[in-house]
Structure 1
Amino acid sequence: MNIPAGSLELESVDHLVLAIDAAFPNSQPRVFAPAAGSDYSWPHVEQAGLLCLRSTRNSAPIADRVQTHLCDAEELLNFPAPKRREEFEREFTAYWSHRATKSADRARVWSLVTPGGVTREVAYFFDARSNRHVIADDKDELKRWLRNTSANPGDKEIYPTWLFRLSQPWTPREFPETGDEITKLLPQDIVRKCLEPGLLSPFLFEVDTQTGTAFAGVVLRGAERRDVMKGFRHMSKVPAARIVGSYAKRPVERCKVARVDGAWVHGRDHPSSYALVKNRKVAIIGCGAIGAAVARLLAQAGVGEQIFVDGDSLTTANISRHPLGMFHVGFNKAAALQEHLRREFPHLKFEHAFQRRFESLTKKDLEQLASADLIISAGIDFDGEAALDHWRRSLGRPPAHISAWVEAYAAAGHAVLLYGKASILAGFDGEERPNFRLTDWPDESGALIVEAGCGNSFQPHGVIDLHPTVGMAAGLALDTLLDKVPASCRRVWMGDPAVVEANGGTLRETFSDRLTMREFVWP
């Protein structure tokens, strides 16, 4: 499609090329402006002059779709200067990534920094295992995060660097190219701390855009230490100007930044429950299939700290239902879950894993549990529930308590929330069974299967059967932490009643629905 010379704001464009692929009309037409170049001087113009345009509906008439794309192309190529800058600023992060020195690389800078601060000193560690710089607000936060990832650097391996707060986003033509464009921004008293000849020096930039906070990273590579020190016996004697000059005309490595702070991980900076639960503590007693799955969901929701209690080790028979796999067989469930979630969510706290039953916890252990906002007992036996209930109710200010379990075949599941001095035992009969159970099993036949061996038995159900109850229990826990549940209650999952009857069980009248969750007052 030819275009009259000078008829567009981008005057170099004299024709457009409309291209479709073999999948069309189930794909988007593409419009190229070859003469527009690909030097990022115009927004939304990519390699080979490909224009980044809005998508059209595949179901629309083909002629209308083509016309829409061509009209959008004309509008884009007629953007006035203020509009062009606005578009560059709005998509600052995308353009920075496109212009990264090694654009195909994974992000070489990871940021734990809390957004919204001012220009300031921060701390970084170079992780040689992954060729990555990790930057945090301070040394203590950085060391804790690194410990959770199995790195354990000494203080001498953590260095200061500088975070620059920009007043407005750069356009691609304003991106720094050489070291002097960075070093001239550094305060004089920080130069020696942040510029260490012989080391790669990362710097972080933060700026507000129309779509939220954006981060960009650069890495400076100065001259070799021996070259900078020529004529001087010690680095401390080298003038700061000489150190700065060693970076001046060396190229800047622009780096993508991956944010790993909690606000981004748990909500991409948009309103979420994270702000309300990041300072909450949950203790989980019983780290089996239910407890471990609930723990992971709460970690994904951003609950700031979790404590784990379990005296059992993971076996090969557990892994089809347990979030942990074969790698952790033979390890204590509480300790293995702690180690696993630390690696997966290193910005959260998993400081305590007690490798014993609740009844065997020490006074010091119990003090940790008493400091929790919520205690969850998951699939533990009646003795454990009774001991927990007695201890919790003896406290002056008992933490909230959720008890979660499933009935045979996971056809029904329960999550009971108790506040204050409310007792779980109020819902159990003289045979230590819940009064509100939904199924009965004559002589317990079918409810438990005995393994070959002495005294081992298990409930017959698979992981898919279990997950409605897991989700229900985790949802009740989150609602509790968010103060959405005003009084003690119980939630019930009613699964498929046909499964119960097919396996010799009896339905109670209260099993009144299928594939439904209900909430009831307690008891």
Structure 2
Amino acid sequence: MWQSIRPAAAVMPEGDGFPPDQAVRRIAERFAAAGISGRKLEWHELARYRGEKFIAGWEFRIQFSDRTRRLRLLIPENAPWVFSRIALDDAPPFLTWPHVEKDGLLCLRPNSWTVDPSLPEEAALDELGRATELIERLITNGGDADFRNEFRSYWDHICDHKAGPIFSVAVPGPPSRQVHVWRGQQFSLIADSPQGIDQWLRARFPDITQKQMVIERAGLIWLNNPPVPAEFPDSIAKLKELAAQNKTDLFQMLDGHQGTDGGEFLVIFGAESTSGIGFIGVSISRNTSKFGNQSIEKGFRKGKVPKALMANRTLNGRVVPRTVDRADAAWVHGRDQDSRQMVLQKAHVAVLGCGSVGGQVAELLASAGVGSLLLVDPERLTWSNVGRHVLGAEFVELSKAESIARQLGKRFPHIRQIEARRESWQGVVRASAGTLAHCNLIVSTMGDWSSECQLNTWHSEEIPDVPILYGWTEAYCCAGHAVVIRPEGGCFQCGFSRNGRVLFPVARWPEGATIRREPACGADFQPYGPIELAHVCATIAEFALDCLLEAPERSTHRVWSGAERLLIATGGQWTEQWAELTGGSVLGSRQLQRNWETASDCPICGKKPDA
């Protein structure tokens, strides 16, 4: 067999790689040295593979357990920086075997694999060896297991892509059930309920009108096993057979369908393979040869067709295979592989302050999969904010909180709720004290001592069991802080002087050296850029996720220190407290954690027993 001539590891030659003509020459020489003879392919033979451009190739006759087969080694034009391709010239009909494309090209490895460009000849030999092993396995064992594992990819080959994709936010699991569908010009949307479709569309398209919100019934059939191509529901007969095998009553699923869209009915099929959960779908279009251009309700008043007759008329139509892409939260946030999503999707987080820090933190939390966000900020975006804010110029003079909520809704329409309040946190509490009390976590990035001092007092007296995470940045973003306040340990004010000076700074500068002023009354600010800020925001957002997943039992302080070169460039230096905490080791570009202790002179909790 072919394995007997597969090479051992070769010595790495000098150089980083070789141009295509040298790669072809080296492959030919290596094959000749191994005693492997093959027919060189003509240009017209290379041109039949239209997906890629090949500059050279050879055909080999290889004996398998059933018969001799012809394998072609094809050298791409951008060799040696990509793998050579192997084609089975006498391949069986398409979709007889998995991993064999329509033109006979074989899929031998995941796209994530990389090639060593300095050894094109050894890579080519290895590809030919892998191809012979695959074909022998398919001859011996068949390919049903691989077909089932990657059923979505093979289904997509027979789909009518002109019909547009179907996006599903339905719960990806059993049982078989009626679902609902909205049909747009570019795509269709499946959800378990009309409310689910309404919420998704209004988040994704805030200006959608009620007239455009036409929602119909559809079906979801949950399969015990993913189908192989021979079982694909690409005809009415196969659809009925697959439904029966999985104990699904199609007539009951069609109950309530009134043929609004010319009688078309949508059915999606879900299954779990060893690689995860996927969907395929079909549209059952009306039988125009039987009903012409008239409605499938022909002969009856609208909505009065007997259920059995409506089902029979619908199931007499043409089946159109459709692609179905999952758009539910578990898929968007980790493709079903992020175990944290079970907690995060149920979490409700309030972000107080949607400036340069809070805006990024809110965006990171939404990206991570937090299912419900309340954004609170009374301010509008100004031009001076744009350079380091998640919002751009189109939102200048608009509410920060409302604009961020609108943008996040467009980006993540599956999120359960994104609410914006264009007012102070005090206004939110005055309107309804329970609004913040019902949160799993409150994140305060207001950066205003007066407001956060008042928040700390209210929190200590009213909702001490709800964790509050305070986040802020030091000058020039040379350091960032995130402090979560819990019933055990210090309150927020325990780490500050009475006038708001942090008692554990990471860096220090000469007095007043970090303050800049706009040419306006009282318009002080601290200069820093978006790159340095990103580290601080990530630290705060990461701590927020940790608190949602498993909140610390006591108040905890997490600190990020930026690059030392930035500190030196701005005329600062590390503080003695930071040097002591780090043990005098590398002081920059690191993250550390410490307890946030109770201060005996704190006006809020200085009289606690552990003070």
Output the amino acid matched with 2:202.
R
SS class of match (1:298): helix
What is the CA–CA distance in structure 2 between the aligned matches of 1:231 and 1:391, rounded to whole Å? Answer: 68
Distance 1:189 1:457, change over 3 A: same
SS class of match (1:343): helix
Does residue 1:520 correspond to 2:594, yes or no?
yes
Q: What is the CA-CA distance between 1:233 and the residue it aligns to? A: 5.0
Output the amino acid matched with 1:495.
G
Residues 286-338 of structure 1 deviation map (CA, whole Å, 9 limit, x = unaligned): 10111111111111111111111111111122111111111211111111111
Does residue 1:420 correspond to 2:487, yes or no?
yes
Residue 507 of structure 2 is matched in structure 1 by 439
Residue 304 of structure 2 is matched in structure 1 by 236
The answer as to whether partners of 2:350 and 2:443 remain within 8 angstroms in 1 is: yes
Does residue 1:73 correspond to 2:131, yes or no?
yes
The answer as to whether partners of 2:177 and 2:253 remain within 8 angstroms in 1 is: no
What is the CA–CA distance in structure 2 between the aligned matches of 1:23 and 1:351, rounded to whole Å? Answer: 47
Count of equivalent residues: 514
The answer as to whether partners of 1:398 and 1:420 remain within 8 angstroms in 2 is: yes
Matches within 5 A, 1:55-454: 57-58=115-116, 61-78=119-136, 79-80=138-139, 82-102=141-161, 108-128=165-185, 131-149=186-204, 150=206, 151=208, 153=210, 157-182=214-239, 185=243, 186-194=249-257, 196=259, 198-222=262-286, 223=288, 226=294, 228-234=296-302, 236-237=304-305, 240-241=308-309, 244-245=312-313, 247-248=315-316, 250=318, 252-420=319-487, 422-445=490-513, 447-454=514-521
SS class of match (1:48): coil
Q: What is the CA-CA distance between 1:38 and the residue it aligns to? A: 5.6
Q: What is the CA-CA distance between 1:362 and the residue it aligns to? A: 4.4
Output the amino acid matched with 1:424.
F
The answer as to whether partners of 1:139 and 1:158 remain within 8 angstroms in 2 is: yes
The answer as to whether partners of 1:314 and 1:329 remain within 8 angstroms in 2 is: yes
What is the CA–CA distance in structure 1 between the aligned matches of 2:307 and 2:212, rounded to whole Å? Answer: 26
Distance 1:43 1:306, change over 3 A: same
The answer as to whether partners of 1:266 and 1:274 remain within 8 angstroms in 2 is: yes
Q: What is the CA-CA distance between 1:508 and the residue it aligns to? A: 2.3
SS class of match (1:20): strand
Does residue 1:45 correspond to 2:129, yes or no?
no
Q: What is the CA-CA distance between 1:200 and the residue it aligns to? A: 3.5
Residues 16-60 of structure 1 deviation map (CA, whole Å, 9 limit, x = unaligned): 221112332322121112221562222111131111123684268
What is the CA–CA distance in structure 2 between the aligned matches of 1:480 and 1:462, rounded to whole Å? Answer: 28
Q: TM-score with structure 1 length normalisation?
A: 0.90
Q: What is the CA-CA distance between 1:199 and the residue it aligns to? A: 4.6
Moved more, 221-230 or 353-362: 221-230
Moved more, 214-223 or 49-58: 49-58
Moved more, 468-477 or 65-74: 65-74
What is the CA–CA distance in structure 1 between the aligned matches of 2:276 and 2:309, rounded to whole Å? Answer: 37
Matches within 5 A, 1:491-506: 491-505=558-572
Moved more, 365-374 or 471-480: 365-374
Q: What is the CA-CA distance between 1:61 and the residue it aligns to? A: 4.9
What is the CA–CA distance in structure 1 between the aligned matches of 2:341 and 2:512, rounded to whole Å? Answer: 43
Distance 1:499 1:91, change over 3 A: closer
Q: What is the CA-CA distance between 1:340 and the residue it aligns to? A: 1.1
Identical-pair percentage: 30
What is the CA–CA distance in structure 2 between the aligned matches of 1:141 and 1:229, rounded to whole Å? Answer: 28
Q: Which ranges in structure 2 are unaligned for 5 or more consecutive residues? A: 1-58, 244-248, 580-586, 598-611
Q: TM-score with structure 2 length normalisation?
A: 0.78
Residues 70-115 of structure 1 deviation map (CA, whole Å, 9 limit, x = unaligned): 232223333147531111111111111222222xx69610011112
Output the amino acid matched with 2:254.
V
What is the CA–CA distance in structure 1 between the aligned matches of 2:383 and 2:198, rounded to whole Å? Answer: 35
Whose Rg is larger? 2
Distance 1:322 1:200, change over 3 A: farther
What is the CA–CA distance in structure 1 between the aligned matches of 2:114 and 2:428, rounded to whole Å? Answer: 62
Q: What is the CA-CA distance between 1:371 and the residue it aligns to? A: 1.0
What is the CA–CA distance in structure 2 between the aligned matches of 1:261 and 1:118, rounded to whole Å? Answer: 17
Q: What is the CA-CA distance between 1:227 and the residue it aligns to? A: 5.4
Output the amino acid matched with 1:46.
E
The answer as to whether partners of 2:263 and 2:295 remain within 8 angstroms in 1 is: no
What is the CA–CA distance in structure 2 between the aligned matches of 1:44 and 1:63, rounded to whole Å? Answer: 23
The answer as to whether partners of 2:165 and 2:323 remain within 8 angstroms in 1 is: yes
